[in-house]
Chains A and B, each alone.
Chain A
Amino acid sequence: MKKQIKLTFILLIILLTPFYKVAMAEENDGTVELVVWDMPPDADKLQRQIWDEGIEKFNTIYPKVKIKGISREYKPQEFVSVMASGKGPDIVHIPMTAIPVMAKYGFLAKLNDYTDKWIQKDYMPQIMWNAVNIDGSIYGIPYDSYFTTLIYRRDIFEKCGLTKPPETWQEMIEYCNIIHKKMPDTYGIAIQPDLFYFIDFIWQAGGDVYKNGKFNLNTAEVIKALKFWHDLKWVNNSMPPQNIFYDYDVEQLFSTGKIAMMLGVANRLPFMNRRYGLDLTNIEIVPLPQGDTGIKGWHAGGDAFIINADSSPEKKRYAWEYIKFVLDAPYQLWKWVRMKELKMIIFPGDFSCATNLINMPEFSKVKDLLAAAQSEPNTYKWLTIKEDFNKYVLEKIFISEDVDYEQLLNAFMERLGKEYNE
């Protein structure tokens, strides 16, 4: 027995020695390791190359900081689990819409002390800062930005003799009819029942979903937008014969040329190119059409850098240095040049939402979009309200041909009152 204990003890020492050595080496060197969840995936070789080169540049300035990059898409359950375990990464890229709820549960560090003195702050649109500002506390640093846009296939438009994108709801319906008439196997558009996109149509109809801290989802404008979506499917036959489209359905249909238009954000295009072979030179990104009121409406969103609330003060300081380095104008300009050198297609979403590069040719459309962009409600209940609205309202109008919009929305508001005290 004693022998066994001794043997186990010796084995443990042998096994733990390398870890101890590594730990001691770090301590002795004063090296700080930052775990960063923003590394591009292996499949995205050129983006990855640029990221690696960027880290090398960072290390020339901060040789004692070791960046451990992890390629991971944001998934709430994964993020919550790893943060709750206390072993969460120091810096993460998360969607801005997730910030209110994650901040509420204490995962995110307050960053006001850093941002107040940051010169680059003023170059970022206020709309982006609003999304990360919760009751005066900054919980994230806006990184990339995207706008909900209309993406269309130039090849289908050309075949159908359409020379410009639709600019109004009415034009959108007409275009869909022309496309389906000329190419019977192809439909005009496919829309996923998602409040993320629907909110733009509410704005275009002249409404607003969140005013003075209250949700207004049973207004005449919401009904008007609902009717437009419902008619696109049931009256105008603008969509493929499918009850409900999820994001992947729409992306697949668009990439394979089964639909000519889709609502989307440009950030998804490289993914669609990788997964479905979408030819990126064949697509156009334009602002969403305006409603019958003549109001333009779309929204800006994006990812933000957050710093783990549980990281040590030293790590937090270096994490801020890393974020600052990545978002500063020289790095962004270097990235733009490098992407050009590597002959990559440049999307504004690949860059910081700061206006440093706004005068570059690739950003000309963004410049226009930024002016009319709005942001989603900045409350932690928004994510779940969106989920419920999708399920009980939007999916319903795509499944049932006969819908009483008013009744549907009133029932939803009743549910909202019961479940969210709204």
Chain B
Amino acid sequence: MHLWKGLVKNIMSDIFNRSSAELSERAIKGIIDDEITNYKKEEVALPIIKLKLPDKESTVKIKKPAIKLSALQEAVRPAAGTVTAPRPEITLPDSLTASQKLRKAFRYRRYGMTIRLVKPKEREMKPLPEVKPEDLKKLKIFQLKKYFLGTWLLIPALVIFILFSWMPILKTVFISFTRFLSFNKSTFIGIQNFTQIFSDAKFWQAFGHSVELAAVVILIGTWLPLFIALYVHEMRRNSSIIKILYFIPFLTPAVPAAILWKWLYSQSYGLINSFLSLITTLNVHIGWLTNPNLVIFSIAIVFLWKNIGWAMLIYIAGLQNMPKTLFEEASLHGASVWVKIKDIMLPSLSPVILAVVFVQIINSLQVFTEVYIMTDGGPVGSSEMVATYIYKKAFLYMDIGYACAMALVFLFILISITLARMNLTAKRG
């Protein structure tokens, strides 16, 4: 045992000497493995050190010792009362590599042979080469390159991100403090555009409509997908078909969807009114998009139709993560369905519900395509949203500075909502 330990120690010290570095046990094992697998190569390049291996011709192949097993066994188990015969002694040549020595030692030891180690030659310690100043410079450059490698790799993505995300925002901030006399000529007017917003009744009217839409969306868009998700979650068969059916509208491009809905809503000959006429046997001509009192509700329906599948999937994911044992235990205690929903499901799902509510708020405040295509803010401006109003100010009224200021105020409102959500989520842990 002592011999074995000594051998390993020697081999390790050998490696230490050759590498002139402090290596961990794991590193040494790695070196040894590498040496074993690459011993045929003349020189093995390792990440840390280089080890010179013996030539192929001089490689000592490990052979089974030419001693009969029975003889060995006899030698190992001497008869009682007899004097133990001296074991054959093997000398390991120093030319072997560390791993070869290890393997040989292991094998000879198995056969009960004593191994005599040749003390490794003391290698002459070479003095460390002097580092030239230019090499030092190179080394510093190399270190710097290594340090900034991550940054270099990030640059392409970063450039695209800055160009297409941050530059427009920064440019918007800059433009919001100016008034355009012509497209190439603008004057700095300070915060005038921002103060104008507070006295712009049309902006606040549009904001009011956006809030109205968000309210309808939250009222229906939070709970309806939850009920659908519950139903789908409880379905034993074909739930994936239902999921796909509800999710398809989310994948439909907004423009064709809005055009389709515009036709469905047509007051004179739309499918919805025709259907209502059919089932009521009356001449139904509801102005879904032309009645100022109905138009926001009609837009909300389109918005919900498009987003309900998405919200449903989020809820399903939340439901799947809920521990079933809670429900089982509640059932054992005789809890009713309502109690299960109120005391287990809703509290467990509350982070998901909160996320859906806030995302719906932000999305509904930003709605543009549906309104632009279906009503263009009409009738009588009753469906003018903040996004469409900003768009018109910029491209129809050509008041680009003011439009940018409104966009920034709107961005600030959206960021506030996002921060509120994060704050609420953090409070709930």
* Complex partner residue of A384 from B180, B268, B292, B396, CB under 8 angstroms: B396
* Complex partner residue of A242 from B145, B149, B268, B391, CB under 8 angstroms: B268
Q: Which of A362-394 contact B (CB under 8 A)?
A: 383-384, 387, 391-392
Find the B residue at minimum CB distance from A190. B268
Q: Would you give the shortest CB distance from B40 to chain A, in whole angstroms?
A: 29
Q: Contact: A392 with B381, CB < 8 Å?
A: yes
Q: Contact: B182 with A240, CB < 8 Å?
A: no
Find the A residue at minimum CB distance from B184. A106
Q: Which of B366-380 contact A (CB under 8 A)?
A: 376-380
Find the B residue at minimum CB distance from A420. B397
Find the A residue at minimum CB distance from B200. A419
Q: Is A241 in contact with chain B by the CB < 8 A criterion?
A: yes
Q: Is A396 in contact with chain B by the CB < 8 A criterion?
A: yes
Provide the bound-state CA to CA distance between A101 and B376, in Å: 21
Find the A residue at minimum CB distance from B273. A241
Q: Contact: B267 with A242, CB < 8 Å?
A: yes
**A105 touching B398 in the complex, CB below 8 Å, given contacts A244-B378, A249-B266, A253-B268:** yes
Contact mask for chain B residues 48-88; partner A; CB cutoff 8 A; 1 contact, 0 none: 00000000000000000000000000000000000000000
Provide the bound-state CA to CA distance between A76 and B398, in Å: 10
Q: Which residues of A contact B398 (CB under 8 A)?
A: 80, 101, 104-105
Q: Contact: B183 with A391, CB < 8 Å?
A: no
Contact mask for chain B residues 269-310; partner A; CB cutoff 8 A; 1 contact, 0 none: 100000000000001010100111000000000000000000
Find the A residue at minimum CB distance from B283. A241
Q: Contact: B380 with A107, CB < 8 Å?
A: no
Provide the bound-state CA to CA distance between A105 and B183, in Å: 5
Q: Is A233 in contact with chain B by the CB < 8 A criterion?
A: no
Provide the bound-state CA to CA distance between A383 and B399, in Å: 13
**A391 touching B396 in the complex, CB below 8 Å, given contacts A240-B268, A242-B290:** no
Find the A residue at minimum CB distance from B156. A8
Q: Would you give the shortest CB distance from A392 to chain B, in whole angstroms?
A: 7
Find the B residue at minimum CB distance from A2. B145
* Complex partner residue of B391 from A77, A84, A249, CB under 8 angstroms: A77
Contact mask for chain B residues 361-395; partner A; CB cutoff 8 A; 1 contact, 0 none: 00000000000000011111100000000011011
Q: Which residues of B contact A244 (CB under 8 A)?
A: 287, 290, 378-379
Q: Which residues of A contact B380 (CB under 8 A)?
A: 391-392, 395-396, 399
Q: Is A1 in contact with chain B by the CB < 8 A criterion?
A: yes
Q: Is B185 in contact with chain A by the CB < 8 A criterion?
A: yes
- Chain A interface residue bracket vs B: 20 to 34
Q: Which residues of B contact A383 (CB under 8 A)?
A: 396
Q: Would you give the shortest CB distance from A237 to chain B, in whole angstroms?
A: 13
**A106 touching B182 in the complex, CB below 8 Å, given contacts A76-B395, A241-B283:** yes
Which one of B185, B290, B291, B377 has the greatest number of beta carbons of chain A within 10 Å? Answer: B290
**A243 touching B395 in the complex, CB below 8 Å, given contacts A106-B184, A107-B183:** no
Find the B residue at minimum CB distance from A77. B395
Find the B residue at minimum CB distance from A384. B397
Q: Would you give the shortest CB distance from B172 to chain A, in whole angstroms?
A: 14
Q: Contact: A242 with B285, CB < 8 Å?
A: yes
Q: Contact: A83 with B183, CB < 8 Å?
A: yes
**A84 touching B396 in the complex, CB below 8 Å, given contacts A243-B290, A258-B268:** no
Contact mask for chain B residues 160-186; partner A; CB cutoff 8 A; 1 contact, 0 none: 000000000000000000001011110
Q: Would you give the shortest CB distance from B278 to chain A, in whole angstroms?
A: 16
Q: Which residues of B contact A1 (CB under 8 A)?
A: 145, 149, 152
Q: Which residues of A contact B149 (CB under 8 A)?
A: 1
Q: Would you give the shortest CB distance from B161 to chain A, in whole angstroms?
A: 19
Q: Would you give the shortest CB distance from B268 to chain A, in whole angstroms?
A: 4
Find the B residue at minimum CB distance from A101. B398
**A243 touching B183 in the complex, CB below 8 Å, given contacts A105-B398, A391-B380, A392-B381:** no
| 6 further contact pairs, Cβ within 8 A, besides A1-B149, A105-B183 | A83-B183, A242-B267, A242-B287, A243-B287, A249-B268, A391-B381
Provide the bound-state CA to CA distance between A398 and B285, in Å: 15
The chain B residues found within 8 Å of chain A, CB to CB, are: 145, 149, 152, 180, 182-185, 266-269, 283, 285, 287, 290-292, 376-381, 391-392, 394-398
Q: Enumerate the 10 nearest inter-chain pairs by beta-carbon distance, A residue then B residue, closest first.
A: A243-B290, A106-B182, A77-B395, A242-B267, A241-B285, A244-B290, A243-B287, A240-B268, A105-B183, A242-B268
Q: Which of A389-413 contact B (CB under 8 A)?
A: 391-392, 395-396, 398-399
Q: Contact: A387 with B283, CB < 8 Å?
A: no
Find the B residue at minimum CB distance from A106. B182
Find the B residue at minimum CB distance from A83. B183
Q: Which of A52-111 contact B (CB under 8 A)?
A: 76-77, 80, 83-84, 101, 104-107
Could you list some 8 contacts between A and B, CB below 8 A?
A101-B398, A104-B182, A104-B398, A106-B185, A242-B290, A253-B268, A391-B380, A392-B381
Find the A residue at minimum CB distance from B153. A4
Provide the bound-state CA to CA distance between A152 and B183, in Å: 43
Q: Which residues of A contact B381 (CB under 8 A)?
A: 391-392
Q: Which residues of B contact A80 (CB under 8 A)?
A: 395, 398
Provide the bound-state CA to CA distance between A249 and B374, in Å: 12
Q: Contact: A391 with B378, CB < 8 Å?
A: yes
Find the B residue at minimum CB distance from A105. B183
Which one of A80, A104, A243, A258 has the greatest number of beta carbons of chain B within 10 Å? Answer: A243
Contact mask for chain A residues 93-134; partner B; CB cutoff 8 A; 1 contact, 0 none: 000000001001111000000000000000000000000000
Q: Contact: B379 with A241, CB < 8 Å?
A: no
Find the A residue at minimum CB distance from B290. A243
Q: Would you give the shortest CB distance from A397 to chain B, in whole angstroms?
A: 10
Contact mask for chain A residues 196-229; partner B; CB cutoff 8 A; 1 contact, 0 none: 0000000000000000000000000000000000
Provide the bound-state CA to CA distance between A253 and B268, in Å: 9
Q: Which residues of B contact A241 (CB under 8 A)?
A: 267-268, 283, 285
Contact mask for chain A residues 236-270; partner B; CB cutoff 8 A; 1 contact, 0 none: 00001111101001000100001000000000000
Provide the bound-state CA to CA distance between A101 and B269, in Å: 38
Q: Would you give the shortest CB distance from A302 to chain B, in whole angstroms?
A: 21
Q: Which residues of A contact B292 (CB under 8 A)?
A: 399
* Complex partner residue of A395 from B182, B185, B378, CB under 8 angstroms: B378
Q: Which residues of B contact A399 (CB under 8 A)?
A: 290-292, 379-380
* Complex partner residue of B183 from A76, A106, A240, A395, CB under 8 angstroms: A106
Q: Which residues of B contact A77 (CB under 8 A)?
A: 391, 394-395
Find the B residue at minimum CB distance from A103. B182
Q: Would you give the shortest CB distance from A193 to chain B, in whole angstroms?
A: 8
Provide the bound-state CA to CA distance between A395 and B183, in Å: 33
Q: Which residues of B contact A249 (CB under 8 A)?
A: 266, 268
Q: Which residues of A contact B283 (CB under 8 A)?
A: 241
Provide the bound-state CA to CA distance between A346 and B398, in Å: 37
Q: Contact: B396 with A76, CB < 8 Å?
A: yes
